[in-house]
Amino acid sequence: MPELPEVETVRRGLTPAMEGQVIARADVNRPDLRWPFPERMAERLTGQTVLRLRRRSKYVLADLSSGETLLIHLGMSGRMTVSGDPLGQFIHDHPAQQKHDHVVLHMGNGARITFNDPRRFGAMDLLDTATAEQHKLLAVLGPEPLGNDFHDSVLIEAFSGKNSPVKSALLDQRIVCGLGNIYVCEALFRAGISPTRKAGQISKARIAALVPIIRDVLSEAIEAGGSSLKDFRQADGELGYFQKSFDVYGREGDPCHTTGCGNMIERIVQSGRSSFYCKSCQS
C-alpha cells in the first residue's frame, strides 16, 4: 500500500494539471470501490474548480469550489495518472480507456486524470470542506511527520509506558500518520533501534533522535518519487526509485550496509507484517 512519500508524490504530480482548474466532466464507471461512491458523485464533481490539492496522511484531498472536498485513497493498487499536455511541455495523447479506469476527470485545460485500480481497494468520498477533518477517516489521525506538530516531546509522550514494540507503535496512525512498513523499517535502521524493542523502554534521547531521522527518510523518499515495489507509479506514469536506496527493507539475507558490520539483514514477522533489520546494528 502506498505510504506518505508515494501519496505526496502523486499529489505533486497532479497539482499542475488540477489546481485552479475546472472539472469539465467527471466519468464514474462503477458504483463503488472499497465502499460505495457518494450519491451523484459525477454530477457533484462536474463544473467544480479544484481550489487546492493537499495531503493528509495517505489521503489526497481536493478542495472544490462547491464547498466539498474529494477524498482519495489509492488502496493497494490504485493509480492516478495525468494524460494530455496542460502545461505545453510535451505531447501526451490520451490513452484508450482501460478495464480498471473507474473514475476519469476531464479537466478544462485538456488534461485527463484517471483513477485506475485493478484490486478495487481504493476509495473516494465527498466531504464538507469546513468539517472535513472531523470525517471518521481523518479525525483519528495523529500529527503529520513532516509538520510542525510532530516533534520529540510528542513522540516521547506517545511512547511513555507503551508495552508494544516500537515498530507497531510507529505504524499506529494515531501516534504519527502516514508511516507504513517500508519507511518505519528504514528509519529504525538509521536510528539503530531494533523493531522488537518495547516503545516504552527507549530512552528519551533515542526517541528525540528518531524524529529527524523519520523526517529525513520521508523527505529523501519524496525526492526520489517514492518506492515502486509492485503497483505504484507517479502521476506521470513513471516509477519511483527510492527502493534502490533501501538499507534493510526487502533485503533479507543481504549484507548490512554499515561499514565493518559483516552481518546479514534478517526478517521477522510482527503482527502479520515483515520487519527487516540488522541484529548487530540495531538494539
Catalytic residues: 2-3, 58, 273
Taken in order 170, 176, 180, 182, is the CA torsion positive or negative? negative
Residue the block writes with cell 495523447: 93
Q: Considering just the CA atoms, what is the radius of gyration of the chain in Å?
A: 20
In Å, what is the CA distance from 95 to each residue of 45, 197, 234, 236, 278? 22, 49, 16, 13, 45
Cell matching residue 22: 475546472
Buried-state track 166-194, b at ≥16 Cβ within 10 A, e below 16: bbbbbbebebbbbbbbbbbbbbbbbbebb
Read off the amino acid at residue 211: V
d(CA 283, CA 276): 13
Cell matching residue 115: 483513477
Residues 6+ apart with CB under 8 A from 21: 49, 50, 86, 107, 108, 109, 111
Nearest to 70 by CA among 58, 53, 47: 53
Residues 6+ apart with CB under 8 A from 225: 9, 234, 238, 239, 240, 241, 242
Residues 6+ apart with CB under 8 A from 204: 152, 156
Residue the block writes with cell 512519500: 5
